[in-house]
Structure 1
C-alpha cells in the first residue's frame, strides 16, 4: 500500500520564483521547496514527489545515490561493470539505458523540448510524462538505478531492502562543476556567471540542495551494512582500492588483472572519450552545449581554487561551519 507523502511542498515567493525562472530559463515550471528540509526542485517535482517516495524497491536492486557532480557517472560505470562480470562489450550501450535515472521526469521537463533551440533539432517527440520513472520500474533485475534524491525523499525502506552506494565530494569542487553543468544543459538554461551561481548554490536555490542536508542523511546511515559511502577524492587518489571496496560490497570477486583493466577503463581520459557515458549524443539535439567541456569535464580535485575569490572563500567557510556542522572534517574537506 502506498504511503502518504509526509512532507509539505511549498511554492517560493512570487519574487523568488520570478528570479529563478529568469536566471534558469529551463526551469519553466518555476521552483518548489520541500518542508521542513528545504530541498529545492523545479515546480514539476510536485507531479512526482509521492510516486518517487513510494517507488517499489527490490532486494536485487543496486542504487547509486549522490548530490549532482560528485562522481556519479564514474561510480555508475564501475558498479555496472562489476555487477555484470566486467562485460565491456555490454558497457558500449549508453549508460542511461543500463542505469536509469530515477527522477529524470522532473528534471527533463517535456515543455523544455518545445523550445526552438531544441525542437528544431529533435528527431523525435518530447518524452511522455512519467516515461523515465516507468522505465526504472520496469527495468529487468538486477536493476541498477541512479538518483540524486536525498534519502528522506526516497522509499523509506530503501537501505533496508537493497544495496546503496552513496558518492560525495568536496562542495567547493561541486559548485564549480555544477556551474558548468547548468550552463551546459538546455534543460537548466543558466547563462549567468560563476559568482552569481555560487550565491544560488550556498543560498540553496539549485536543484537537490541543500548540499549538507543531502550528505548528512547518508552519513547518519553510514553503519548500515547495505550502504557504502565513497568520495570523489578517494576515486581520484586510489581508484584500484575503491574498485576492490565496491566489488567486496557487491559480493564480486576481482583479480589484480581485473582491477588494472577496470582502472584503465575508468581513467578520466578514457571516460571523456567514451560515447556511452559522456552524453555526446545529446549535443546533436541541442540539449547539451559542449563548449562547457562536455558532461565529463576535467575530473579534478581542488579546481575550485581557480574560481573562488577572497569574498567567496569567506562566504563558503561561514556557510560550511553553519551548515556542515563538522561533516567537512569527517570527509577531510578542510
Structure 2
C-alpha cells in the first residue's frame, strides 16, 4: 500500500497536500490582507467544494449568460493552494476564495465579522467514500483497500486532517466569524431554496431569470458536463498521466451504502456517536430522509 503521508505536509497540526504548496505563503497566512467584501467557501475535502464554487455565478452575469470563459478554479481559487502566477492582491473585489483550512489557520482578518464565510458540510460517510475514490483514481496517492483508507480517514492522516476536528472547530468558534453553515444534502434536495438562502446571506438580489440560470448551471449533472466547472482539464496537468478519475464523480446522497460493510458501518457509527455527542447540526444519511 502506498503511504499517503509522504504526499502530505503537516503544519501546526494540519495536513496539507504537499504538491503545489507554497510553504512560504502558508507560513504567513495570518498576515494576509483581507478585504471586507471577500467571501470564503470553507469545506472539508470532498464535501461539495466545486459545487459551491460554481455559485460564483451569483456574482458573474457573464457566466450566468454563458458568455464567460474563465474556469471555476480561476473565479474561486483555492486560497491555500495559490499558484505562482496568481496574484491575489491584484484580483478585483469582491474576492471569492475556497479553502479547506481549519478555523485556527485562516487569516486573522476573517474575524472582522464583515467577511462572509459559507461553511459547507456533508455526511462523513459519503465524504469518506468520495475521498477514497479521489485518492485512489484522481490524485493517485493511495493504492490500498477501502478498509485501509477508512482507517487513515478516521485517524485524520489525510489532506484536511480529521473530519471531526474540522467541523467541530469551525462550529464551536462560529462566534468569531460572519458564517453561514450549509448542508450539502440540503443543496442536493432543494437547490433553489439553498441558492436563495445563500443569496440572502451574501446580500445579493437576483431576478427570477438569473436565479433560474444559477440553479440550472449549479445542478451537479450539468456541472459534470461543463468543462469550465468540472476541473477535468487540470487532472493530468497537476496529478500526472496516471490520474484517471474525475473530481465530480457521483455527487449522490447515501453512496456509502455501496461501500461500507455492516461491521464497518457499525464501527463508524460508534466513533461518530462518541465524537459528535451533543453536536447540534443535523446530518442526512439517505436521499429518502426528510
Q: Distance in 2 between matches of 1:218 and 1:319?
A: 20
TM-score (norm 2): 0.86
Q: Distance in 2 between matches of 1:265 and 1:284?
A: 25
Identify the match of residue 165 of structure 2 among 213, 238, 257: 213
Identify the match of residue 41 of structure 2 among 34, 53, 64: 64
Identify the match of residue 232 of structure 2 among 263, 271, 280: 280
In the alignment, which residue of structure 2 is the partner of 1:92?
69
Identify the match of residue 74 of structure 1 among 48, 51, 72: 51
Q: Distance in 2 between matches of 1:48 and 1:171?
A: 30
**In the alignment, structure 1 residue 32 sits paired with structure 2 residue 7:** no
Identify the match of residue 266 of structure 1 among 208, 214, 218: 218
Cα deviation, residue 85, structure 1:
3.9
Residues 47 and 190 of structure 1, relative CA distance in 2, 3 Å threshold: farther
Cα deviation, residue 282, structure 1:
2.0
Contact 2:110 2:177 survives alignment (8 Å): no
Residues 234 and 333 of structure 1, relative CA distance in 2, 3 Å threshold: closer
Q: Distance in 2 between matches of 1:150 and 1:286?
A: 24
Q: Distance in 2 between matches of 1:155 and 1:63?
A: 11
In the alignment, which residue of structure 1 is the partner of 2:204?
252
Residues 49 and 283 of structure 1, relative CA distance in 2, 3 Å threshold: closer
Q: Which moved more, 1:278-287 or 1:231-240?
A: 278-287
Q: Distance in 2 between matches of 1:222 and 1:237?
A: 25
Residues 135 and 315 of structure 1, relative CA distance in 2, 3 Å threshold: farther
Q: Which moved more, 1:211-220 or 1:282-291?
A: 282-291
In the alignment, which residue of structure 2 is the partner of 1:4?
none
Cα deviation, residue 48, structure 1:
4.2
Q: Distance in 2 between matches of 1:73 and 1:262?
A: 14
Max Rg structure: 1
Contact 1:136 1:145 survives alignment (8 Å): no
Q: Distance in 2 between matches of 1:33 and 1:101?
A: 17
Aligned to 2:239, the other structure's residue is in SS state: coil
Q: Distance in 2 between matches of 1:25 and 1:324?
A: 26
Residues 25 and 216 of structure 1, relative CA distance in 2, 3 Å threshold: closer
Q: Which moved more, 1:231-240 or 1:156-165?
A: 156-165
CA offsets 1:55-109 (integer angstroms, 9 cap, x no match) = 211102111111111111111111x11122463335431111111111115xxxx
Cα deviation, residue 314, structure 1:
2.0
Contact 1:179 1:194 survives alignment (8 Å): yes
Q: Distance in 2 between matches of 1:202 and 1:45?
A: 27
In the alignment, which residue of structure 2 is the partner of 1:104?
81
TM-score (norm 1): 0.75
Any stretches of 5+ residues in structure 1 without a counterpart? 1-18, 106-126
Report how many aligned residue pairs link the two structures: 280
Q: Distance in 2 between matches of 1:157 and 1:222?
A: 14
Aligned to 1:199, the other structure's residue is in SS state: helix
In the alignment, which residue of structure 2 is the partner of 1:41?
16
Cα deviation, residue 136, structure 1:
2.9
Residues 217 and 314 of structure 1, relative CA distance in 2, 3 Å threshold: same
In the alignment, which residue of structure 2 is the partner of 1:295?
247
Any stretches of 5+ residues in structure 2 without a counterpart? 286-290
